[in-house]
Amino acid sequence: MDMTYDETVQYLFNCAPPFQQVGGAAYKEGLATTIELDNHLGNPHRKFRTIHVAGTNGKGSTSHTLAAILQECGYKVGLYTSPHLVDFRERIKVNGKVASKEYVIDFVKEHREFFESLCPSFFELTTAMAFNYFAQQQVDIAVIEVGLGGRLDCTNIITPELSIITNISFDHTQFLGSTLADIAGEKAGIIKPGIPVVIGETTPETKEVFSAKAESVGAPITFAEEEALLLSATPLPEGGFAYQTASYGTIEGELGGDYQKKNTNTLLSALEKLKGCGIEISDDAVRKGFTNVCTTTGFTGRWQTIGKSPRTVCDAGHNTGGIKYVTEQLERESRRHTAMRIVFGMVNDKDISSVLAMMPANARYYFTQASIKRAMPAEELQAKASQYGLKGDCYPTVEKALQAAEADSATSDFIFVGGSCFIVADLLTSVNAR
């Protein structure tokens, strides 16, 4: 019996639960299954050029902005990212449009018998589905975001034009190692012989790891911080930044959040390297890509304004690196608004104490939990948060927490929703339904 799209996605989740739903149980080390899937499909990843993007934070914004710029250049661009926020198909896009429901249904129907005998992870299956789609669609180039780590991530079968590693901070330490050097070693696994690599941010211990790996495989390495192609950044009233750049004059970037300054500096270095790979990129395309990244690629959940009165913003940052930039932004917002209200939830496997220690104590909290198994119960989060002087009540869903925050707010207040990409996913699902 043929399955509908919803039944097909449910089947994928049940057959190979995604990491975002069950955590560590979904993680599968090594590339053997990926290679078998790829061989079965006729090696689709060899049929288009690629750019590979790894890093703890910023890889989503970097990938989407790169895709937007390449689209503005007239290329047909594939974009593979994770996790999705509202619809599974957000992971697989061509020129900003998600893969069709029919493609997802047909892919599972056609290859189900093969992959059921193989028992792939959810990410292995979706990576194969994406590469196959990009080959079918005859994309010119695809921007491929690493799922987790790099060395053993199933996207690592590609040989890209350029590798990018945005930064390293603590995340998924149970798989990637407990020191920054360990984690850098896993991310450095995407550095390939002779393929240029751009590193966004470093610390002395991670820089050494990247340099050694690049030297050992003969990969030309660029440290974006040393090039410093971003001269300054000025916040724009409607969100985003006006960037003064060394190569393109003033660029207006649509994406908000202080962390975009680092991403932009990384991107400016990456664009110069791509030109060296024979990819034609015009100044006009760079400007338009930065300015229209959300409309061009359908990007959501990064310092995204979802309400104006009171101003309401969500951000999917969830680990210590991502939250650090969020809290710096919140501090700035607190100076502009009467009161700050924070709808907040986290998942169980994050470094919760480090994150809570960074969150502002001068805000009112609305503790909640996302609709996934890994979500930390709101009452448990509330108890942990109180140890850090964070006060507030508990709500059963993100929607109810936001409604309570809105009911308590004056128009001059500021509401932030975050702590986990799954909190933002639930939020955007309920906002879309309004």
Q: Give me the residue spans of the domains in the chain.
A: 5-297, 304-433
Asked if the bond preceding 83 is cis, omega within 30° of 0, the reply is: yes
DSSP per residue over 129-163, as a string?
A: HHHHHHHHTT-SEEEEE-SSSSTT-GGGG---SEE
Answer for the pair 266, 391: CB distance below 8 angstroms, yes or no: no
| Alpha-carbon span 337 to 304, nearest angstrom | 17
Note whether 5-297 and 304-433 share their fold: no
Q: Find how far residue 39's CA is from the centre of its chain.
A: 28
pLDDT at residue 42 in the model: 98
| Alpha-carbon span 143 to 153, nearest angstrom | 15
Query: 326-365 pLDDT, tens per residue?
Result: 898 899 899 999 999 999 999 986 678 999 999 999 999 9
DSSP per residue over 352-365, as a string?
A: HHHHHHHS-TTSEE
| Alpha-carbon span 6 to 271, nearest angstrom | 39
Q: The sheet that has 414-418: what strands, in order across it?
A: 304-308, 311-315, 414-418, 340-344, 364-367, 391-394
Would you give the end-to-end CA distance of the chain in angstroms? 34
Domain 304-433: give its CATH architecture: Alpha-Beta Complex (3.90)
pLDDT at residue 329 in the model: 87
- CA 138-32-30 angle, to 5 degrees, is 105
**Secondary element (H or E) of residue 206:** helix 204-217
Assigned token pair, 117:
């005998």
Residue 240: name the closest of 293, 186, 165 by CA.
293
Print the SS3 string covering 111-127. HHHHHHHHCCCHHHHHH
Answer for the pair 289, 69: CB distance below 8 angstroms, yes or no: yes
Amino acid at 33: T
| Alpha-carbon span 70 to 168, nearest angstrom | 26
Q: What CATH number belongs to 5-297?
A: 3.40.1190.10
pLDDT at residue 23 in the model: 46
| Alpha-carbon span 107 to 104, nearest angstrom | 5
Within 10 Å of residue 56's Cβ, how many Cβ atoms? 24
**209 phi and psi angles, rounded to 5 deg:** -65, -50
Assigned token pair, 373:
């198994």
Assigned token pair, 368:
């909640």
Asked if the bond preceding 310 is cis, omega within 30° of 0, the reply is: yes
**Cα dihedral sign, 262-268-272-273:** positive
Sequence-ordered alpha helix ranges (H) in 44-100? 59-72
- Bridge partners (DSSP) of residue 341 are 364, 415
Per-residue pLDDT in tens (0 to 9) along the chain, 434 residues: 689 999 999 988 887 655 444 444 444 567 899 999 999 999 999 999 999 999 988 999 999 999 999 999 999 999 999 989 999 999 999 999 999 999 999 999 999 999 888 888 888 999 999 999 999 999 999 999 998 778 888 999 999 999 999 998 765 445 555 688 888 998 999 999 999 999 999 989 899 999 999 999 999 999 999 999 999 999 987 779 999 999 999 999 999 888 899 999 999 999 999 999 999 999 999 999 999 999 999 999 988 999 999 999 999 887 777 788 889 889 989 999 999 999 999 998 667 899 999 999 999 999 999 998 889 999 999 999 999 999 999 999 999 999 999 999 999 999 999 999 899 999 999 987 76
| Alpha-carbon span 108 to 259, nearest angstrom | 38
Q: What is the pTM of this model?
A: 0.90
DSSP per residue over 301-312, as a string?
A: SSSEEEEETTEE
